[in-house]
């Protein structure tokens, strides 16, 4: 009976991101029952730490027992009912996904679109709100498919003015960028564990404002999903502790350990680390003569979309990185397929060591295809050496 083993990849794609050994050890702890007093304590601590990372006081803050897309679904279907209207901002795969989910609730979605690679225009959002007076305004904070960071400032005032709840996808930002649920007036916010929280995929942290909870209480119809019905799930995570479904015990161990690590580092320090490594990476990429898909000011620190130069074979380069250096980077999705690489510098993967490694490896892999360009490594190193706070490997 040989043991199950997989090689250690350098995960610099759109997620999962690399996971600290501490978290893997937590994951492999013996099982507890889902109503064991010790597990209930673990749940309590997870809630406390999730509130810290979301920067919220929201009581209803829990991990959904599914990946980020389950959180997306839970966030929309619990506050929308058949006949409701929703404005959905679309500037990538995940906005499209929100739009699809809204349609399945029996609500009527209105799309506000931006070109993939650009943020959504606030004036267009306001026009759509004015026209439709929707129940919900849904927007992706960190578009994993394009690397765009959407500025959240002012959105809650807009949403409030037209009577809408603000639903925000923070899958690729939570723990790497400020999300600041309360300060930004977000009503429903969800994330995934496998990005900047640096935990394996399988859970989706989610938080509902009191206003969103009131909306849930005022529903006229049952939520279309039993599995994701917050009115029942909150009884297990609340003081009732009444059984809903069996929680994914081991994944909750991992999440708790991941949240403790975030706490130990501190949110500000973590954001600064993500920003610095992003800046060094972009400096290196541009020194190589390559360009970023997204304009400065709208770039995610956690997900870097690099335009693929003319004449370079996308798949061949990514296979080269994987086979020669065991490095994973992501390809483009939808209209960006073959046009960008998505380089994730997320969670434990956002390090100086990985930036230098990725820049060197991409340079080598380009060379292997006969594409000649300068190396960007020294330029990236200078960003770190410029007296700025370096980050551990």
Considering only residues 270 to 299 of the shown chain, the ones binding its own copies according to CB under 8 A are: none
Stretch that binds its own copies, among 31-39, 159-167, 355-363, 372-380 (CB under 8 A): 31-39
Least distance CB 277 / its own copies (angstroms) = 19
Task: Return the residues of window 240-259 that contact its own copies according to CB under 8 A.
Answer: 243-251, 253-254, 256-257
φ, ψ dihedrals at 342, nearest 5°: -110, 110
Among 132, 162, 182, 201, binds its own copies (CB under 8 A): 201
User: Binding to its own copies (CB under 8 A): which residues in 213-232?
Assistant: 222-228
Element (H, E) at 62: strand 60-64
**x/- letters, 82..101, toward its own copies (CB under 8 A):** ---------------x--xx
Tell which one of 26, 164, 196, 358 touches its own copies (CB under 8 A).
Answer: 26
Nearest to 116 by CA among 137, 95, 136, 139: 95
Phi then psi for residue 174, to 5 deg, are -60, 120
The answer to whether the CB of 179 falls within 8 A of the CB of 163 is no
Pick the stretch among 4-12, 125-133, 134-142, 272-280 that binds its own copies (CB under 8 A).
4-12
Q: Is 192 in the site for its own copies (CB under 8 A)?
A: yes
Distances (CA, A) of 32 to 177, 235, 316, 355: 33, 20, 45, 39
3-class DSSP state of 285: helix
CB 122, min distance to its own copies, A: 27
Q: Which is nearer to its own copies, 5 or 123 (CB)?
A: 5
Residues 6+ apart with CB under 8 A from 46: 62, 63, 252, 255, 256, 259
Instruction: Show Cβ contacts of residue 183 under 8 Å, excluding neighbours closer than 6 positions.
Output: 55
User: Considering the rule CB under 8 A, would residue 393 count as an interface residue with its own copies?
Assistant: no
Structure tokens at 47: 């809630």
Asked if residue 336 binds its own copies (CB under 8 A), the reply is: no
| Pairwise CA distance, residues 265 & 259, whole Å | 10
Q: Which of 55, 169, 187, 328 binds its own copies (CB under 8 A)?
A: 328
């Amino acid at each position: 009976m040989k043991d199950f083993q997989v090689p250690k990849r350098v995960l610099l794609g759109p997620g999962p991101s690399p996971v600290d050994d501490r978290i893997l050890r937590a994951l492999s702890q013996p099982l507890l029952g889902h109503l064991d007093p010790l597990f209930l304590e673990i749940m309590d601590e997870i809630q406390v730490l999730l509130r810290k990372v979301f920067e919220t006081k929201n009581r209803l803050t829990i991990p959904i027992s599914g990946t980020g897309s389950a959180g997306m679904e839970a966030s929309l279907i619990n506050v929308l009912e058949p006949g409701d209207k929703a404005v959905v901002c679309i500037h990538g795969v995940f906005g499209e996904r929100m739009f699809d989910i809204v349609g399945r609730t029996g609500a009527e979605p209105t799309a506000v679109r931006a070109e993939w690679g650009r943020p959504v225009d606030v004036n267009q959002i306001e026009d759509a709100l004015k026209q439709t007076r929707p129940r919900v305004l849904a927007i992706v904070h960190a578009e994993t498919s394009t690397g765009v960071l959407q500025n959240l400032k002012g959105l809650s005032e807009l949403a409030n003015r037209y009577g809408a709840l603000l639903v925000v996808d923070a899958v690729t930002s939570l723990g790497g960028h400020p999300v600041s649920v309360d300060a930004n007036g977000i009503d429903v916010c969800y994330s995934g564990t496998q990005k900047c929280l640096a935990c394996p995929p399988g859970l989706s942290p989610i938080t509902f404002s009191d206003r969103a909870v009131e909306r849930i209480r005022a529903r006229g119809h049952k939520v279309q999903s039993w599995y994701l019905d917050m009115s029942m799930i909150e009884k297990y995570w609340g003081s009732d502790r009444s059984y809903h479904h069996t929680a994914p015990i081991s994944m909750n161990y991992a999440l708790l350990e991941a949240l403790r690590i975030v706490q130990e580092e501190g949110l500000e320090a973590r954001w600064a680390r993500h920003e610095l490594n992003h800046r060094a990476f972009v400096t290196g990429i541009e020194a190589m003569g390559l360009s970023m898909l997204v304009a400065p000011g709208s770039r995610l620190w956690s997900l870097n979309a690099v335009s693929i130069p003319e004449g370079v074979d996308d798949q061949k380069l990514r296979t080269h990185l994987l086979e020669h250096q065991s490095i994973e980077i992501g390809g483009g999705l939808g209209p960006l397929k073959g046009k960008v690489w998505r380089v994730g510098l997320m969670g434990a993967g956002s390090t100086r060591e990985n930036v230098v490694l990725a820049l060197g490896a991409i340079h080598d892999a380009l060379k292997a295809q006969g594409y000649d360009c300068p190396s960007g490594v020294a330029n990236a190193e200078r960003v770190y050496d410029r007296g700025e706070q370096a980050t551990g490997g």
